[in-house]
Chains A and B, each alone.
Chain A
Amino acid sequence: MHRDEIPPGTLYLLILKTLARAGEMHGYEIANSIQRISDDVLQVEEGSLYPALQRMLIKGWVKAKWGTTAGNRRARYYQLTASGRKQLEMELSQFERVIGAITRVIQTA
């Protein structure tokens, strides 16, 4: 099955949105969630989630705490912070502006 690479720069947006919807998730769940919701079209190179999450921790968009999974394993759960929510709004509006512009260019042709 062919899967599309996600457009560069949108990984933060995807993670932020996913966390906003789900509230609290660990890395594996985030990866699965993105794939599932995109009907398996968007393929995240799963490992690259982790550097991104570290950078988001530094920026203070997400916070993390350790918890237990359903299978009784220790896992780090990520959660959106207030500034993460603000960032999500900003990234969303920026994304829509770009997509809108691209769409207009394509349709005019």
Chain B
Amino acid sequence: MDWLSELVRRLWMLVRRRQFDADLEEEVRLHLELREQEQIQAGLSPKEARQATSRRFGNATLLKEKSHMAWGWEWWESFLQDTAYGSRAMLRSPALTIIALLSLALGIGANTAIFGLLDAVMLRALPVKDPAQLVLLGKGMSSGITDDFARTQLYSYPFYRQMQRENQVFSDTTAIFSMTNGVHGFVEGRTESEPMNVQLVSGTYFGTLGVSTMMGRTLNESDDNSEGDHPVAVISYAWWKRSLARDPNVLNRTLKLGVTTYNIVGVAPPEFFGTKVGEAPDMWVPLSMVKEVPPNFGGYKDNFSESLLIMGRLKPRVSIIEATANVNLLYRQILLGFPDAKLSQENLQKLDKTKVPLTPMATGLSSLRRQFSEPLQILMGVVALVLLIACANIANLLLARSTARARELAVRQALGARRTRIIRQLLTESLVLALAGGALGIALASVANRVLLRMVSGGLDPIPLDVSIDTRLLLFTVAVTIATALIFGTVPAFRATRLQLTDTLKAGRGPQGASGKNPLAKALVISQVALSLVLMVGAGLFLRSLVNLNNVDTGFNKENVLRLDIDSSSAGYKADEPRALAVDQQIEERVNALPNVKAASFSAFTFHEGSWSSDIVVPGMKTDENINIIHNVVGVGYLDTMQIPLLAGRNFTASDTSTSQHVAIISAHTAKTFFPGGNPIGRHYGVGSNKPEDDVTIIGIVKDVKFDELTEEPVALDYLPYPQRPWGFGDFEVRYTGDFAPVAAAVQQTIHSIDRNLPITQVTTLDAQVGRSITNQRLVAQLSAFFGLLAVFLSCIGIYGVMSYVVTRRTNEIGIRMALGAGRSKMLWMVVREILILISIGIVIGVPVTLAGDRLVSNMLFGLTPTDPVTLVGATLLLLIVAAIAGYLPARRASLVDPMVALRYE
């Protein structure tokens, strides 16, 4: 503990350093006086005594300084001094300081905001115990329900139970339903339903994650040991706060989801949002209730109702490789052991080829990550470049300033200041500037990341992500700030102290000083121009991609269509009940009759809403081919509502009922792929099987539509009428004329006049729905355009600053030239030429860099290549023009120099 008590003594000294200095002073004075007395007593004259004493003592001032420095705080004292000096210097040139601070605040703020989002989406570990031990079976890329044999993404409940029992590598195993159930439930005692996101999980969920509740108990195995009789829920902290106003008596309250009443048994801790980043369920309910929670998925005992994600916690000292081996062994055994497994030749072959990968789950699951990891990385790169440009700018400003301070620094060096000391002072000044910019940047980021989150959410409710400024983010910002200070401060500091002392002292404006040559400043401007070009071209490519995406032919007319969701399962309707069918048809009829409504229809999907697909059985086609197609279950008016053109055959009519012949309309791509040659109309196929009840007759062919993404190739698709294939509907579409708002109000009123308990959500336009599918492209395009313009703006400030400086330094040269007869236009050209040369060099360097860099983003482009010449030429021209304007202003000033004034100045 020696060093500790030493540190305490040193700190004590720092606090009391005035006292310490005074003590030392007194001690030394005593010493000198006593010695002097002694000498006088020995017979010396007072003057001789003083000289002898001083000789014996040595250099008192130096020794006092050495004693003071022994305490090791002089760095701190000089830091304080430099900081004070730096702040005063900044306040003396406010214009420069404001420009520098603004560029820093924007640069650092943008980096902090983007990093905050990147961290929340991609990097932050789950708020659970030892997240690094968690692994997921499969890659977690799917959600939904499938009966596909030997798929490794989703698993059935019986599979989960066997895996849990028989594996030797996990200390705990849990299953999570791959979708959240969006229920409209009732808090006990309330008459209005409210949206509740329910996450179904196995009883082991909280135990596996090592998460305990803040209040009450977690779910446990006994909540999940028999089907349908464990109506309990653990609610999230956020929901407790939002919907129950932090009721301390919450454990005595109940909820109604569908027809079942649930007891609230616990409240999760505030930081726990579940296991999916970007989705925060309001409550967790045991999987044993899977059939009771709307929309009543079920499949608890079905060996091939695959809808679960399985997560395990590795036992200590079990590697992921051992775990993978064990899991794969069991995977095969369990599947082959199910009595109802369809062990056809192809399925067995498929099983042989299948391997279950284990995915580390330290950062949780996220579909958000899949969507945004690339855009966020691109944006991170963009903002890093913007910050570099800002650094170059500030370095330039500091260079100009340090040249102006050349005499001050030369005098100090001549008086014996060490070069390192002066460099340290200049760096401290840079740090003060950077820290001030960083503080502003954090303030900016705290606003910007809310805006960003809203952009990422694509117009819906904000995605539940925590993007507030936390310690991690602060550390990141501090690191960026210090790096920034070093980047923009180092070069000017070294240059400013590398002086020919005598020259600088002699003249201050000698021949060297007046030449205006400043290669470093010009190099900085060139690199700014090059980097700006990279950003401009990038922004141009993204914007043009966005335009291309907006011009894609979707196959349907997305204008003037209202769409909304009706949650009929929460209102107690079952899809196959006759009364559900009756209500649906009544809604269609009544809405159709409204003024300004041209057509209205239910459908299972419109665009970008997921899908239901299955194999079809086409007579005469081999069954082992890829015969999977997407189905959309629709009302009679769907094709009219969406304005999907009928190419051949007839549309659905009211006479296509559950008892008439089952019919289907297929897309052009389906016709071409599965019914080549001859007219498909009148032909038959089986939806999912070759059983008679699944057989349909083709009555029409329609134009291909985009179904999930604007960028997709034509997909095989068919439309089935809902009277013949009941579907618990979500989507309702209305084609209208005139204004959206009155129609939307009238439609909702009409629906509620039929059943006032039907919850209606997501009332928006089809256009907005389509727009949401390109949220990330829009995000990248808008932000990169913003940052591209910012970069150009910063570069222009740089060009303006450097050229102004050059012109000022050359004032007398210009004066002499003009006195000797050079015209104003010649002077103007002389300066403009210099700017144009700089910009051209920057562009020449920038073009290959751009071409190399833009190849990295080719995934994000649509309808053009990274080397798109239009974008490249356009960006170059724009940059050239803007930069030339920035340089023209100082050039004009040069041409207006009065030769007499310029010469007198000398």
Residues of A with Cβ closer than 8 Å to B?
26-28, 31, 45-48, 50-51, 53-55, 57-60, 66, 69, 73-76, 83
Contacts and interface: CB of A to CB of B under 8 A. Distances in A.
B58 A46 contact: yes
A55 B825 CA distance: 71
Interface of B: 2, 5-6, 9-10, 13, 23-24, 26-28, 30-31, 34-35, 56-60, 63-64, 66-68, 70-72
Contacts of B58: 45-48
B614 to A, nearest CB: 82
Contact of B57 (A47, A69, A83): A47
Nearest to B38: A32
A28 B70 contact: no
Contacts of B71: 54, 58
A83 B2 contact: yes
A75 B70 contact: no
A47 B5 contact: no
A28 B9 contact: no
Contact of A60 (B9, B23, B56): B9
Which 8 A-B pairs give the minimum distances between C-beta atoms? A47-B58, A47-B63, A51-B66, A54-B70, A54-B67, A51-B67, A47-B57, A28-B31
Contacts of A53: 67
A27 B2 contact: no
B63 A76 contact: no
Given A45-B58, A48-B63, A31 B31 contact: yes
B23 A55 contact: no
Nearest to B72: A58
Contacts of A54: 24, 67-68, 70-71
Nearest to B37: A71
26 contacts: A26-B30, A27-B27, A31-B31, A45-B56, A45-B57, A46-B35, A46-B56, A46-B57, A47-B57, A47-B59, A50-B28, A50-B63, A50-B67, A51-B67, A54-B68, A55-B70, A58-B6, A58-B13, A58-B72, A60-B2, A60-B5, A60-B9, A69-B30, A74-B26, A75-B27, A76-B27
A66 B72 CA distance: 24
Give chain B's interface secondary structure class: helix
A27 B70 contact: no
A59 B5 CA distance: 9
A11 B27 CA distance: 19
Nearest to A50: B67
Nearest to B68: A54
Contacts of A83: 2
Contacts of A69: 30
Contacts of A73: 30
B64 A50 contact: yes
A50 B28 CA distance: 8
Nearest to B59: A47
Contacts of B60: 47
B70 A74 contact: no
A58 B2 CA distance: 11
Nearest to A74: B26
A66 B453 CA distance: 65
A69 B26 CA distance: 13
A66 B20 CA distance: 12
Contacts of B28: 27, 47, 50
A87 B226 CA distance: 76
Contacts of A28: 30-31, 34-35
B339 to A, nearest CB: 81
B113 to A, nearest CB: 46
A82 to B, nearest CB: 12
B6 A60 contact: yes
A94 B31 CA distance: 31
A87 B2 CA distance: 13
B77 to A, nearest CB: 16
Nearest to B54: A47
B31 A27 contact: yes
B366 to A, nearest CB: 54
Nearest to B13: A58
Given A51-B67, A54-B24, 13 more contacts: A28-B31, A28-B34, A45-B56, A46-B31, A46-B56, A48-B63, A50-B24, A51-B70, A53-B67, A55-B70, A58-B6, A58-B70, A75-B30
Nearest to A75: B30
Contacts of A74: 26, 30
Nearest to A45: B58
A1 to B, nearest CB: 13
Contacts of B23: 66, 76
A26 B34 CA distance: 12
Contacts of A66: 23
A58 B63 CA distance: 17
Contacts of B24: 50, 54
